[in-house]
Structure 1
Amino acid sequence: MNDLADPATGAPVARVVALHVHPVKSLGGIAVAEGRLGPCGLEDDRRWMVVDPDGRFLTQRQMPHMALVGVARGPGGLVLARAGLGAHAVARPPADGARRMVQVWKDSVPAVDAGDAAAAWLGAALGRPCRLVYLHDTGARPADPAFAPPGATVGFADGFAVLLASRDSLDALNRDLPAAVPMDRFRPNLVLEGAAPWAEDGWRLLAVGAALLRIVKPCSRCIVTTIDQQTAEIPDPREPLATLARTRRARGGVMFGQNAAVVRPGRIAVGDQVRLLEEGPSNLVPA
């Protein structure tokens, strides 16, 4: 079935129970009731990024306390906040602002700096020199062509425009864990419910609201999943990764959730049915 399939023909397999936008990579997220899925994912998701003075991206992998910086949408930009520092409004840099190349994984991407005031506030919040940058050029970073369809792009997310996760699969994982973990450890965009645990391994093309998503690969997980997103503490440095290593190890790492590319933009909302338009064998390829 091609990516212009009629969503009405698909069988309902789940429903959207939560939507999350993370405007600044590795800082706090925002729960939203609805949003538009564009080529780079949900509007505002991972369009901003914290970088070191050399332009290399910074994440909770190096600094778990990045989770303590809250983010809200503000008029023409963002409002950042951290306990003890109050709030700081940041204007979106102008589209004609000077570009600088910043590094996210192996990709060099042109971004616009948000200015010295934002850098000073974030430096105080994080305890190290850093800058805040914004991505205007949403077509500048192609998604991995080994997995994503031609023309798929990504913002400052690790690899793909959308990350979806199943609450049913999290429930199954939590039954195996010594202590349950919440969904925010995995920082998904779309949280679904109503399918059998791990059914998403066999999904290929989904209709969600007015949008179509192409599932491209399972999401390999890192130490960020060990970080309590409310406190920035690490209750158990082994979990949930150790359990995933026993139950969800595959080529490329240990997996939870599915990466997706947007093949038809459109609005989606909490409560939307998820319709399966194309399925296939499990994409959890044994290591």
Structure 2
Amino acid sequence: MESNDSSEVVHDFYPRFRVYKDGRVERFRRVNIVPPSDDPKTGVQSKDVVVSPETGLSARLFRPPIPNPGQKLPLLIYNHGGAFCLESAFSSVFHNYLNSLVAEANVIAVSVDYRLAPEHPIPACYEDSWAVTRWVFSHSNGGGPDPWLNRDADFDRVFLAGDSAGANIAHDTLIRAGSDGGMKILGAVLAHPFFGNDEPDKLWACICPDSSGVDDPRLNPAADPTRLSRVVCRMVMICVAEEDSLRERGVTYYEALRTSGWGGEAELVETEGEGHVFHLFNQESERAVTQLKRVASFLNRV
């Protein structure tokens, strides 16, 4: 008797998703999408832009109040987390977080809404982050398509950031920019980076079918110090949490980056008694606010 391809499960990652033999993907988590806004509390404005109509790639831009005409602000390119397969730059979680960070740090932010796995396996997310980064830098001479970036962004103070999978994606962009981008990126913030562990990761194998395994440098950058040394920026903050299962690889990344021949300044920030991306789940908690202020200070260091 032939199997029913429409009901046979080939990958089961409940409560994230299931993949069926006929290619259908069933998702279980609903994302609370919110529109861009003019936030009355902080004065931060946001809007959405289409970067690539061909792929549907888009981003959400955030701008704080700018009382002095002609003032240039640091520019942050942000990649959201979600295990490469969940969440959105337009979700309430990341909209609220970027709104708060932009207000606290007084920066312009571009939040990347990259394509998600498994429908779009890795490297689609890397390609999307790279495309948005290139789009952002098309404004560096004041001639890009978006007036906020042309007028208000300081392209001598550009930062990349992300949490969890987004931190992994930000790292990949740092490597690409150092290899063939010709872009000036000052620093990066990698919060609770998704760099795997010493055990085979079934989710990673599913969403990155061409992976070489636990030592794939895209998953574990420390496995290839030569590639790691090509990180393009001159300062990196790595945030880890004591009770996060991904903590050890975050610490290993910090140590490997410092000894790789990179030559920049690496800073490790650890929060005791907290788990993975705690600062997103309860954004008004004391420790979340402390981390937010730490990141904001980093973005204004120069």
TM range (shorter): under 0.3
Greater relative contact order structure (CA < 8 Å, 6+ sep): 1
Alignment TM-score, normalising by the size of structure 1: 0.25
More strand by share: 1
Alignment TM-score, normalising by the size of structure 2: 0.24
More helix by share: 2
